[in-house]
């Protein structure tokens, strides 16, 4: 659909990235702008005619550019003689967009480009480029620590409230990446913690009916089993961290 409006190599990559950069247009919007529903499926959204690769570049944030710069750096670490085509493959962007971004990075002082032959250009990150990646890593770690802190607070709140209702044991069914957080919260409030294999429906029903047991379903449990467990009274780990 998008390629119908925008011909050329840019059409192959703009649509996924555009989703987060520009609002969707409805059929009513098309009518107002002069387009007709015949141009597109009535069930599908459409990007405005003003959307272009230049518009996309203007809308990109420093964070999204740093992510692409990271991919460029990783590619150079693997192969110092990487070409624009290699970068395009690593970033899943078109060759034209990759060329535009590399020029933008050079203008920002993040990379240096040296023409070693009429058809060959060498790329290297500058100190400013490395500082940008360091800042990206710092921001990523800050977000990770903040998420862990918020997750821990949510789990602790649920365990504490469960204990106040008489809970003495937390059972984690299946595997979970936050099992260590759940175990820590249990130890903090003096509640027994244990892991268990995914039980039968009747077993989980018995456990969930016990006032002293909080049953939790790990996020790595299959969808069908998770649905059965939650229907029996267990708490999904996603619900746990959203509390």
Task: Tell me the average pLDDT of the chain.
Answer: 76
Give the pLDDT of residue 42. 41
125, 142, 173 - which closes a domain: 125
- How far is C-alpha 18 from the chain's CA centre? 16
Q: Could you give the C-alpha distances from 175 to 149, 171, 178, 195, in angstroms and in order?
A: 21, 11, 9, 8
30 has a pLDDT exceeding 60: no
Q: Which of 29-38, 77-86, 133-142, 211-220 has the lowest mean pLDDT?
A: 29-38
Give the pLDDT of residue 41. 40
Averaged over 213-218, what is the pLDDT? 90
Averaged over 96-104, what is the pLDDT? 90
Q: Could you give the C-alpha distances from 184 to 49, 61, 144, 149, 192, in angstroms and in order?
A: 54, 38, 18, 13, 11
Q: Which of 32-36, 100-104, 233-237 has the lowest mean pLDDT?
A: 32-36
pTM over 0.75: no
Give the pLDDT of residue 229. 83
14, 30, 59 - which closes a domain: 59
**CATH number of the domain encompassing residue 105:** 1.10.10.10
Shared domain for 211 and 225, answered yes or no, is yes
The CB density around residue 207, as the number of other CB atoms within 10 Å, is 20
140 has a pLDDT exceeding 70: yes
102-108 long-range Cβ contacts below 8 angstroms, 24+ apart: 102/72, 104/57, 104/65, 105/65, 105/69, 105/72, 105/129
Q: Band the pLDDT of 95: cuts 50, 70, 90.
A: confident
Q: What percent of the chain has pLDDT over 70?
A: 68
Shared domain for 30 and 113, answered yes or no, is no
What residues make up the domain containing 186?
A: 151-242
């Amino acid at each position: 659909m998008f390629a119908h409006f925008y011909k050329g190599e840019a059409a192959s990559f703009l649509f996924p990235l555009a989703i987060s950069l520009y609002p969707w247009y409805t059929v009513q919007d098309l009518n107002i702008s002069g387009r007709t529903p015949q141009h597109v499926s009535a069930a599908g959204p459409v990007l405005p005619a003003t959307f272009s690769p230049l518009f996309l570049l203007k809308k990109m944030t420093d964070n999204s550019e740093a992510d692409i710069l990271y991919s460029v750096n990783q590619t150079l670490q693997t192969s110092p003689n990487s070409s624009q085509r290699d970068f395009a493959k690593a970033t899943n962007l078109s060759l034209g967009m990759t060329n535009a971004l590399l020029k933008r990075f050079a203008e920002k002082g993040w990379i240096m480009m040296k023409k070693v032959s009429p058809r060959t250009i060498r790329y290297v990150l500058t100190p400013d480029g490395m500082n940008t990646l360091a800042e990206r890593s710092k921001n990523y770690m800050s977000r990770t620590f903040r998420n862990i802190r918020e997750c821990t607070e949510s789990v602790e709140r649920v365990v504490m409230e469960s204990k106040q209702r008489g809970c003495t044991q937390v059972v984690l069914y299946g595997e979970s990446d936050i099992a260590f957080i759940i175990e820590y919260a249990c130890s903090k409030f003096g509640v027994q913690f244990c892991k268990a294999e995914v039980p039968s429906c009747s077993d989980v029903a018995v456990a969930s009916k016990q006032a002293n047991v909080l049953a939790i379903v790990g996020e790595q449990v299959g969808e069908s089993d998770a649905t059965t467990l939650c229907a029996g009274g267990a708490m999904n780990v996603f619900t746990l961290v959203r509390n």
